[in-house]
Amino acid sequence: MMQPCQAQCCSANSGPDAPKSLPSANLSSGKTERELSKRALPHPSQPHFDNSAFNFIRDMCSTYAYGVPVQTFWPELTSSSFFEASLGNGAGNWCMGGLSGCTAVLVISRKHSWWAHFAEVPSVVNPQRWQDDIFTPLEYGGGSSTVPEGSGLRYRMNDPSGPFALGTNPKAYIITPLKRRAHWTHPQPQTLAFPEVVQQLETRLRDILGHGNRVQTRPYIANAAVEWTLQYSWDHSDVTDLSKPYKTPFGKVLLTYDPNAQVSGLTRKAGWDLWLADGTEPIGHDEWPAYPAQ
């Protein structure tokens, strides 16, 4: 049976130390980035990734994205942790790697991204810890988490001049594991590992955002993130996420952003995509006329 993701399980899987630029593409001679005729967000269809979603998310997370430092650190046993990044006047890619049973919440607007990571053990598996480890940090900050008090989503959403203010179109994503299979030869269950905590997260996020259709739950296969090879066979000596560069896209969430997602004439649109594991298309997307600060 696969072991649960404990609070220390993800500390070695936070990705590369610093982002690197993607290979230049779509640049016309003599033009600056602000004068692009068109610039697309990174996508598996680009030649650099051989038209492979598997290669795309793996390589983006290992080479071209900032490793989101929300994973907990042993021996502190901080059960819930936090990261945020503004969507400003430069392109950026952020990857949360090493998910092997933990649950994450991302809220992304047209100006900002807010990330929270809740450890499977000791938090998600124990209903007695949900309020202090998960719901209080999510809503208000503090509790048993690295979310600063006052930085929870209820405060952020109520700030009329903040990055999640009216008109910024915030969307929430719950990234959570499916039940584990007992052995790699068994069929993968298609039911959530922790449906009760997910249901409560959905309810609270809908209330905070004010729009139910802005909250989505996206499951992932916990087994594949840590101890399985590319063929999903068992190999204790080949732990896929504990070495760099990453070998697989599994257990990874990737946010890509570009203030020049599309440029046509005098209209410039910013945009972001959200990817999960080896999905062939983003699980989330937005595009808008870029703000002056973008």
Average pLDDT value for residue range 91-102: 90
Q: What confidence category does residue 182 fall into, taking pLDDT thresholds of 50, 70 and 90?
A: confident
pLDDT tens digits, residue range 206-227?
999 987 679 999 999 886 554 4
Which token pair is 31?
């033009």
Q: Is the pLDDT of residue 244 over 60?
A: no
Residue 130, CA atoms < 13 Å, CB-side half-sphere: 14
**Residue 180, pLDDT score:** 85
Q: Region of 15 please: left (phi>0), alpha (psi -120 to 50) or beta.
A: left
Q: Which of 74-78, 167-171, 277-281 has the lowest mean pLDDT?
A: 74-78
Q: Which two tokens stand for residue 219?
A: 């499951």
pLDDT in tens, 107-126: 999 999 999 999 998 899 99
Question: What are the tokens at 154?
Answer: 């209820």
Query: Which stretch of 5-9, 27-31, 73-77 has the lowest confidence by average pLDDT?
Result: 27-31
pLDDT, average across residues 81-106: 92
Asked whether 292 and 111 are in contact (CB, 8 A), the reply is no
Per-domain boundaries in the chain: 35-289
Short-list 34, 33, 17, CA closest to 25: 33
Confidence band of 58 (pLDDT split at 50, 70, 90): confident
Decide if pLDDT at 25 tops 60.
no
